[in-house]
Structure 1
């Protein structure tokens, strides 16, 4: 029997959404007959759009707890547009209390959780991922625990954010034929770099969908197959120079790629913990 898949989305930890989801699932199937993928600490619509995209690809449904009404509305619209089953777990209760008490909700996620040491480490890692996203500041490459490299639309940003919630400081660098990667990239230990490879056909589909979502012509140069092949060829050249690990993300959800990376850094050769201790 094929496992049922549910995405749990939250702008906080996501424990409430996961608990309710499991309680509902217990009325239908056993625990080993489903997979729950939790996407916590959502702060922007890009992550929500990605969640809906992956849910659509896997035939999954989404349960969410978002206190921000704009994010709730966006996710609901996106899910309806993509025909993905999506359930607002917290919103109806908040709206009912707003009517009953004639008060405005604070719209601040995570108020129920204490600010502990792990929380602050996660916040620091998340801020790091934002600061050094998309190669905007090459100084982050030397300071990062992990550096993700790949062409545009290989999920570098959502993956950086996901790993940040695991307290990992992640920088990501876009690979573009016209731009030489930062020199620092070739000076750090090769296994700290992780290449994100994707098939040209898959990337072509993703970029076309991206252009359509922006109201642009899907035949633009950005989604041209020859251009994509050139970018991937340049990516392979950089990987050869770096001699770093590579993960094929063509048919992987962000969570799957993140798990692969976590498995990598738990290998004996990885001196990640030593690196942390020196900081």
Structure 2
């Protein structure tokens, strides 16, 4: 048993090797590993990533590296022979290996009564969903920062509206990767107040707001990166506060849902938007949300 840590002492970070083995791009596995490790404080993984592992020789090379740097092995290998090769190799090395998607796949297979596909990289197939995501990404780029006519904005699933530096652009790009067509319109004092969006029929318009102090900090960082001065209403506390209050009142007057992004990451903001979009779609087709 390790000795007790003295009261008040800081925790020393724990490093460990994690080997991520995939016969596809490895994106799914990488995202899962990051999500799981984030649940542990003071734990830092040393990642070894092996993508597109599709031959016995490649798997032998993987096992050689695993032997050189023992650690946890996570994989999403579909091919039965390669999977068995990996499992045997890890067993002989005394190293734990986990099929990251196995519990979910087995549960879904049992529930649906369906066989599991052995097609490698099935989640990355060039299907309709893939092309929809690419189309949504093109749309987000073409309709960023107020670009596009009102007629073009009608083609969006969602239009984000907010003052400058409320993460509208990165959120739209993230939504596009979920297949959601998103545009954004910035509120600019004396120029754009968002009133032209009131006539939109198809898209859900969502207002983004943020705490004044947080917004000023973000804007000052932006000005510093551009080597510009700080004496402007853009970062003046009273002006920024008034800007946010007016935006919030306009959102509420127009009946638009509002999301406060002060303590939200882009992913969290996007998740809240997806929930709103889905709830609206459910109401349109008569399914309780």
Length-normalised TM-score, structure 2: 0.55
On the 8 A contact 2:166/2:261 being kept in 1, the answer is yes
- 1:123 correspondence with 2:127: no
Report deviation, 1:171: 1.1
- Verify the 8 A CA contact 1:209 1:218 in the aligned structure 2: no
> Cα offset for 1:215?
1.8
Q: 1:34 aligns with which of 24, 35, 38?
A: 38
Partner of 1:203: 215
| Alpha-carbon distance in structure 2 between the residues aligned to 1:239 and 1:197 | 10
Counterpart residue number, 2:155: 143
Report what 1:271 is aligned to.
Answer: 281
Partner of 1:165: 177
Q: Conserved in 2, the CA contact under 8 Å of 1:190 and 1:243?
A: no
1:219 shift after superposition? 3.8
Query: Quick check: 1:141–1:184 contact (8 Å CA) kept in 2?
Result: no
The CA deviation at 1:117 is 1.6
- Give 5+ residue unaligned stretches, structure 2: 1-23, 50-120
Residue pair 1:121, 1:167 contacting (<8 A) in 2 also: yes
Shift of 1:273: 9.2
Structure of larger gyration radius:
2
CA distance in 2, matches of 1:184, 1:259: 26
- Would the alpha carbon gap of residues 213 and 193 (structure 1) be closer, same or farther in structure 2, given more than 3 Å must change? same
Change (3 A) 1:184 1:153: same
Instruction: Give the alignment partner of residue 16 of structure 1, picking from 3, 26, 31.
Output: 26
Instruction: State the alpha-carbon separation in 1 of the partners of residues 46 and 199 from structure 2.
Output: 42
Counterparts of 1:211 and 1:245 in 2: how far apart (Å)?
30
Q: 2:154 is paired with a residue of what secondary structure?
A: helix
CA shift for structure 1 position 264: 1.7
Contact 1:196 1:246 in 2 (8 A): yes
Aligned residues: 187
For 1:122 and 1:62, how far apart are their aligned partners in 2?
32
Q: 1:198 to 1:61 in 2, by over 3 A?
A: farther
Instruction: Using the TM superposition, give the Cα deviation of residue 212 of structure 1 relative to its aligned residue in structure 2, in angstroms.
Output: 1.1
For residues 171-210 of structure 1, the aligned pairs below 5 Å read 171-181=183-193, 184-189=196-201, 192-210=204-222
CA distance in 1, matches of 2:224, 2:271: 30
What is the root-mean-square deviation of aligned Cα atoms in Å?
3.6
Instruction: Note closer, same or farther for the CA distance 1:263–1:19 as it changes in structure 2 (3 Å cut).
Output: same
Residue 255 of structure 1 corresponds to 267
**Matches for 1:47-196 after TM superposition, within 5 Å:** 113-139=124-150, 140-181=152-193, 184-189=196-201, 192-196=204-208
Query: Could you tell me how far apart the structure 2 residues matched to 1:259 and 1:171 are?
Result: 16
Distance, in Å, in 1 between the alignment partners of 2:128 and 2:29 is 24
Q: CA deviation at 1:133?
A: 0.8
